[in-house]
Amino acid sequence: MRHSLAVFLLLTLIGCSSSSALLEGEDESKQKSQTAEEIYKEAKAKLDEKTYDAAIKKYESLQSRYPYGRYAQQSLLEMAYAYYKQGEPDPAIAAADRFIKQYPNNPHVDYAYYLKGLASFSGDMGVVDTIGNEDAADRDPQLGQDSFNAFKELVTRFPDSQYTPDAKLRMHYLVNQLARHDLHIAKYYLRRGANLAALNRAQDIIKQYPHSPSTREALLVMVLAYDAMGMTSLRDDTQRVLEQNGGTEAATAQAIAASKRTWWQFWK
């Protein structure tokens, strides 16, 4: 009885495996006979359904079998979008870069730059918001810089693109975030007595992000660094610039006094 049951189960498994293999073979045969248009339509349907992983597989199949023609171009761009929506910035950026390099004269190349910027933007901005003072110097905002560069190229090359207004808004946000990141690092150095490093980082903020909200605090870092190094003339010059930017002499004096006691009580 047990022997008969074992044979039955074995035959059932063999039958299921054979049926599965047959179905897979039929599916592969169907795919091989499909035209570029048919594969593209299936991929686009998956994209519209927001089943991005399935859409990506279809687009990759199309790219592999039909690497040239209008469907290849469109599929590469939509594949970049699918990767972006799936939360995979690296392959999204890679696909957008491929599109830009292979089809520089495509009428939708502006969208490729926009997608590249979006992918980097979504991959990095959460990091800056979670920076703590203790580990600020260890952070690398490279994706934020890459996003800014992609948006900048879009704005420069395609000023009339429908994506340019949104790109400008994101660039403004990125500038403020990158300046804030550098300010965290300047404070980090200052709290640890690395006054020259703090001074250099604060000066970089003034030069690179002169219109960001972090400028005033960067000037204050410079005042404190100069004071700590005994450079009173440069300290006073910077103090005057700080006052012109809305700082007050009393507030600076208070900051200097606090800096000579305990930094972590002053700037956390």
How far is 158 from 12, CA to CA, in rounded Å?
63
Does 100 map to a domain? no
Confidence (pLDDT) at 114: 97
Confidence (pLDDT) at 121: 87
Does 98 map to a domain? no
Confidence (pLDDT) at 245: 76
192, two tokens: 């640890």
Q: Three-class SS string for 35-55?
A: CHHHHHHHHHHHHHCCCHHHH
How many residues are there in the chain? 268
81: number of CA atoms within 13 Å, CB side?
19
Residue listed under structure tokens 């359904």: 49
Confidence (pLDDT) at 122: 77
Confidence (pLDDT) at 129: 47
Domain count, the chain: 1
Confidence (pLDDT) at 147: 93
Confidence (pLDDT) at 142: 85
Confidence (pLDDT) at 139: 54
Cα angle: 163, vertex 81, 167; to 5 degrees: 20
Confidence (pLDDT) at 268: 45
Does 242 map to a domain? no
**Of 261, 257, 206, nearest in space to 227 by CA:** 257
205, two tokens: 């903020």
Instruction: Give alpha helix (H) positions in 158-230.
Output: 164-191, 195-208, 215-228
Yes or no: say if 259 and 224 are a contact pair by the CB < 8 Å rule. yes
How far is 101 from 98, CA to CA, in rounded Å?
5
Does 80 map to a domain? yes
**Of 107, 110, 179, 204, nearest in space to 150 by CA:** 110
**Of 225, 170, 246, 177, nearest in space to 205 by CA:** 177
Does 261 map to a domain? no
Does 66 map to a domain? yes
The helix or strand, by DSSP H or E, that contains position 7, with its residue range, turns out to be helix 2-33
Quote the domain boundaries for residue 58.
36-86
How far is 264 from 191, CA to CA, in rounded Å?
7
Does 160 map to a domain? no
How confident is the prediction along the chain (268 residues), in pLDDT tens digits per residue? Answer: 555 555 445 555 555 555 444 444 445 555 567 899 999 999 999 999 999 999 999 999 999 999 988 999 999 999 999 999 999 999 999 999 999 999 999 999 999 999 999 998 876 554 444 444 444 445 567 888 999 999 999 999 999 999 999 999 999 999 999 999 999 999 999 999 999 999 999 999 999 998 899 999 999 999 999 999 999 999 999 999 888 877 555 555 555 454 444 443 444 4
How far is 134 from 137, CA to CA, in rounded Å?
8
Q: Which residues of 94-132 are buried (b: 16+ CB within 10 A; e: fewer)?
A: bbbebbbeebeebeebbbbbbbbbbbbbbbbbeebeebe
Does 111 map to a domain? no
- Other CB atoms within 10 A of residue 88 CB: 18
Sign of CA dihedral 145, 147, 150, 151: negative
